[in-house]
Structure 1
Amino acid sequence: MILELRFNMLPPTLNEQIDLARSDWRASAAVKKLWTNKVADLTQKVDFSFDDKVWLEYHWHLKTFAHDSDNVSAASKYILDGLVDAGIIRNDNLIVIQSPVSHYYYRAKIDGVILRLSSTPNFLQENFYRYTMLATN
């Protein structure tokens, strides 16, 4: 089974979080808690959970490509912590989250992310091939 979660927002990028932490660590902690809770609240109604290993695929939809890919993908921290809090995954450590974790980036009119989760890595190949073909044409 593939669980697909859609978020019509993006948590702060790594640079945004670092800037906030440099100015006030309490504000940084509050933003981390806010976004973790926001993700957990959005996924509370999902009637499915993964009890064992999970493979992930992120599809980042961005208004601008001015961000570095690692700054955008760092927002996955908030998402995974929210999924743990909501009980969708039991932990976000490397025992549960399996490699590879794929990240795809698209230009879009609004920021958002689609996260696909599965208990098997089989689904990763189809999107890798499709995305690679799009990028080379």
Structure 2
Amino acid sequence: MRASMTIEGRMPSLNDYIRAERGSLYAANAMKRECTDAAAWAARAARMPRFTRPVTVRFTWVERNRRRDIDNVAFAKKFVLDGLVAAGVIGNDTPQYVAGFEDRFLYDGRNPRIIVEVDDGA
């Protein structure tokens, strides 16, 4: 089974998160909660099914430009996976439920977004 969702806009990079955490633990926690909620909302809006078998998750990070390092951008997968758990799409983000990831990077100056595809191989 395969399902996908789109999260409009960008999520904070690792550098953004570290900056927030150094400024205030509350700010970093609020950032994580906001991003996790956005991912959960996108999963519910896309009516993603519940996966019971281990899944592979493909992230397509559509950035505005090439200014942010791709490893910093992909850090946000933590928020997305936590959102999938919160929405009930996957049971947890441990290896029992997530077999692996794939990251792709595209660029669109007018429509940054994150496309998330979940596949259990069935």
TM-score (norm: length of structure 2): 0.91
Give 1:48 shift: 0.9
Q: Secondary structure at the match of 1:44?
A: helix
Q: Secondary structure at the match of 1:28?
A: helix
Identity in percent: 26
CA contact (8 A) 2:7 2:38 kept: no
2:98 corresponds in structure 1 to 97
CA contact (8 A) 1:54 1:96 kept: yes
1:13 corresponds in structure 2 to 13
Unpaired runs of 5+ in structure 2?
none
Of Structure 1 and Structure 2, the greater strand share is in: 2
TM-score (norm: length of structure 1): 0.82
C-alpha separation in 1, matches of 2:42 and 2:57: 18
Q: Secondary structure at the match of 1:89?
A: coil
Q: Secondary structure at the match of 2:57?
A: strand
Which residues of 2 match residues 52-91 of structure 1 at below 5 A? 52-91=53-92
Q: Secondary structure at the match of 2:93?
A: coil
Unpaired runs of 5+ in structure 1?
123-137
Q: Secondary structure at the match of 2:5?
A: strand
C-alpha separation in 1, matches of 2:63 and 2:38: 19
RMSD of the alignment, in Å?
1.4
Give 1:10 shift: 1.9
CA contact (8 A) 1:50 1:119 kept: yes
- Tell me how many residue pairs correspond in the alignment: 120
Change (3 A) 1:40 1:62: same
